[in-house]
């Protein structure tokens, strides 16, 4: 039998009502969020398998097809690490941030703005989307300021300022380049690199970049796709629901470490600046984002004010 959409069903099976029910379950969400912006951060750890990248691209293109405006911000920490290792350069991290000298900043830009950004644009095009790859430098999207951190000296236990080099954070976001791309039906794909007022290239943690862009766009949702099921407690169990106060407590107890630190800082900033909710999700799970958003069951860790 041939459908009116031109698809041929050769299975002879009875009509599958469950498929229609899934679409109807999603209808109120399509209606409520049409025209709103979702910022989706795709982490370097979630990118591993080509099938995961294909599923991710399909999810993004589906959001666009139902009238939601997805804006993708990507990471690539492990991929930068691989390139640095091939070039014999060592990396150290402070609170999940890569200490970045001038050479490392150049390599980070090459990997993020070059290789990964264009690969993602390719996956989105293959899924039928019209994607445009940019970094914070393009169209004056983000201007960066240098990040400074303090850490306890292990011997004296005195808090000292640590120089992270060319690690930046967004100082100012001008969304006009995103607005122009979205108005032209495109999906912006953003690499976390930006120039400072001093003209230098800054390496920005991708979660931080995504949070700043979500706040500037007044996004309805921020999704952070990573390689764990969500935020885990001290026993490794999933925490499904967190407020900024819960997060402060978990950080004090040392339950949140490494890459999860900037991720949750970002979630808190996003919900405190008007984003309805931020979600930390397992990007390795097929169609994780669609399952989280369009079904009543949810997945990952929801952060809300």
Ligand X SMILES: Nc1ncnc2c1ncn2[C@@H]1O[C@H](COP(=O)(O)OP(=O)(O)O)[C@@H](O)[C@H]1O
Q: Tokens 């990118």 appear where?
A: 47
| Residues 15-44 within binding reach of ligand X2W (CB under 6 A) | 43-44
Q: Tokens 């990964």 appear where?
A: 116
The answer to the question of residue 84 lying near ligand X2W (CB under 6 A) is no
Contact characters 251-270, ligand X2W, x per CB under 6 A: --------x-----------
| Residues 156-185 within binding reach of ligand X2W (CB under 6 A) | 167
DSSP 159: E
Q: Which residues contact 179 (CB under 8 A, 6 or more apart)?
A: none
- Percent helix, strand and coil across the chain, each to the nearest 5: 40, 30, 30
Please, are residues 40 and 70 in contact by the beta-carbon 8 Å criterion? yes
Q: Tokens 């390719």 appear where?
A: 122
The answer to the question of residue 44 lying near ligand X (CB under 6 A) is yes
What minimum distance in Å lies between the beta carbon of 76 and ligand X2W?
5
| Residues 53-92 within binding reach of ligand X (CB under 6 A) | 75, 77
The answer to the question of residue 260 lying near ligand X (CB under 6 A) is yes
| Residues 87-126 within binding reach of ligand X2W (CB under 6 A) | 97-98, 100, 108
**287-298 CB burial, b ≥16 within 10 A, e <16:** ebbbbbbbeeee
Partner in contact with 228, chosen from ligand X, ligand X2W, none, beta carbon below 5 to 8 Å by kind: ligand X
What minimum distance in Å lies between the beta carbon of 209 and ligand X2W?
8
Please, are residues 280 and 300 in contact by the beta-carbon 8 Å criterion? yes
Q: How many residues are recorded in the chain?
A: 305
Partner in contact with 129, chosen from ligand X2W, ligand X, none, beta carbon below 5 to 8 Å by kind: none
Residue ranges at the known binding site: 76-77, 98, 203
Binding residues for substrate are: 76-77, 98, 203
Residues within the interface to ligand X (CB under 6 A): 43-46, 75, 77, 96, 226-228, 231-232, 255-260, 263
């Amino acid at each position: 039998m041939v459908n009116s959409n031109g698809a041929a069903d050769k299975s002879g099976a009875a009509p599958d009502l469950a498929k229609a029910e899934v679409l109807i379950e999603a209808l109120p969400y399509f209606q409520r969020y049409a025209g709103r912006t979702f910022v989706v951060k795709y982490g370097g750890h979630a990118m591993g398998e080509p099938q995961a990248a294909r599923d991710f691209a399909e999810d993004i293109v589906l959001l666009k097809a139902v009238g939601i405006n997805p804006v993708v911000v990507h990471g690539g920490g492990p991929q930068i690490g691989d390139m640095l290792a091939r070039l014999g350069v060592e990396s150290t991290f402070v609170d999940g941030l890569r200490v970045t000298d001038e050479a490392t900043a150049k390599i980070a830009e090459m990997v993020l703005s070059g290789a990964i950004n264009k690969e993602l644009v390719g996956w989105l095009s293959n899924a039928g989307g019209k994607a445009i790859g940019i970094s914070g430098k393009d169209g004056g999207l983000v201007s960066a300021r240098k990040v400074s951190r303090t850490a306890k000296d292990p011997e004296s236990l005195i808090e000292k300022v640590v120089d992270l080099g060319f690690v930046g954070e967004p100082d100012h976001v001008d969304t006009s380049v995103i607005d122009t791309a979205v108005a032209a039906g495109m999906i912006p794909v953003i690499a976390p690199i930006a120039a400072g007022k001093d003209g230098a290239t800054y390496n920005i943690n991708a979660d931080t970049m995504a949070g700043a862009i979500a706040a500037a766009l007044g996004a309805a949702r921020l999704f952070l796709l990573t390689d764990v099921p969500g935020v885990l407690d001290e026993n490794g169990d999933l925490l499904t629901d967190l407020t900024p106060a819960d997060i402060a407590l978990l950080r004090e107890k040392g339950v949140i470490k490494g890459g999860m630190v900037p991720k949750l800082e970002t979630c808190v900033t996003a919900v405190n600046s008007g984003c309805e909710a931020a979600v930390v999700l397992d990007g390795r799970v097929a169609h994780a984002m669609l399952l989280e958003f369009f079904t009543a069951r949810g997945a990952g860790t929801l952060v809300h004010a």
